[in-house]
Amino acid sequence: MKNPFQNLKFDKNALILSLFAIIVVISVPLYDKITNKYLNESLKQAAITYAVTRSINAAVSVIQESSLTIGVGVEGNLALGQALDPINDATERFSDLLTFSLWSLGSEKIIYELSKLPAFTIIIIVLALINIFYNSKLLKNILLILIVLRIFMPFSAAVSYYFNKYYFAPNINASVQKLKPYTKQIEKPQIKEESFWSKFSNTIESTKNSLAQIQEDAKYYISHAADIINALISLASLYLAQFLLNVILLPLFLIYLIKNFKLE
């Protein structure tokens, strides 16, 4: 009688890969807590930083618009706008960087949640069992890709969590604290609809008060422009370094390890 299993080929390297795949599936959930904590804390931190930055941008924009509303004068408007433009530009550019960072973190969270689906785990286990007996390079490559997708986020989160806890988060929080005093609530002067004589008598006084307040607010931001811009540059450097670590360096390192995993 012909043995139905005689054509099956047992491969030692395939067995190692399959066992590794099964170990990954079993052990990776142990790191889910760290992964969730890292992603949630990073998203919260980035959202707070974004809110602080946009608040400063809004305050500076209101000052610039208010100078036009009450008619400070052409020369005064230009001088005021030019003095506040560096802060405005810095906050807008950093907001764009933060938006990209939030998108990246959101995408990582979605990919991670997809990799936790039961169907994904079942597919890995089934392919791992088949791979033990059927020596197929395509099957090995597919299995490797699935392993990478499953372990990338926990691996990346574990490494990033360490760097974030002891370097990125403390420095980001310190820079955010430096920016918080400049998140002032500034209201744009409102010109009320009044009768001609009432408007004529009240305009001079209200304009003086509004102009004095605008000048005071403008001087406040201008005098602290260097501190604001330096804090924003520090934050931008930290978020860029964090992005490079998570999106480029760690994936390249993991790919290097997988590529040098001898299957032949």
Q: pLDDT band for position 107 (50/70/90)?
A: confident
What separation in angstroms does the CA of 66 have from each of 33, 61, 211, 215? 49, 8, 9, 10
Question: What integer best gives the mean pLDDT of the chain?
Answer: 78
Mean pLDDT, to the nearest integer, of 125-141? Answer: 82
Asked whether the predicted pLDDT for residue 232 surpasses 90, the reply is yes
Per residue in 177-189, pLDDT tens?
A: 999 988 876 655 5
The C-alpha angle with vertex 132 and arms to 129 and 133, in degrees rounded to 5, equals 110
Tens-place pLDDT, residues 21-60: 777 777 777 777 888 888 888 999 999 999 999 999 988 8
Q: Where are the beta strands (DSSP E) in 97-184?
A: none
Q: Whole-angstrom Cα distance, residue 180 to residue 178?
A: 6
Q: Treating both helix axes as pointing N-terminal to C-terminal, what angle do 196-223 and 32-69 enclose, rounded to 10 degrees? A: 130
Residue-range domain boundaries for the chain = 12-259
At 92, which amino acid appears?
E
Could you read off the pLDDT of 171-227 as tens digits, one per residue?
999 999 999 988 876 655 554 554 444 444 445 455 555 667 777 888 888 889 999
Confidence check: pLDDT of 262 > 80: no
Contact 211, 70 (CB under 8 A): yes
Helix (H), strand (E) at residue 29 = none
If one compares 252 and 170, the residue with the highest pLDDT of the two is 170
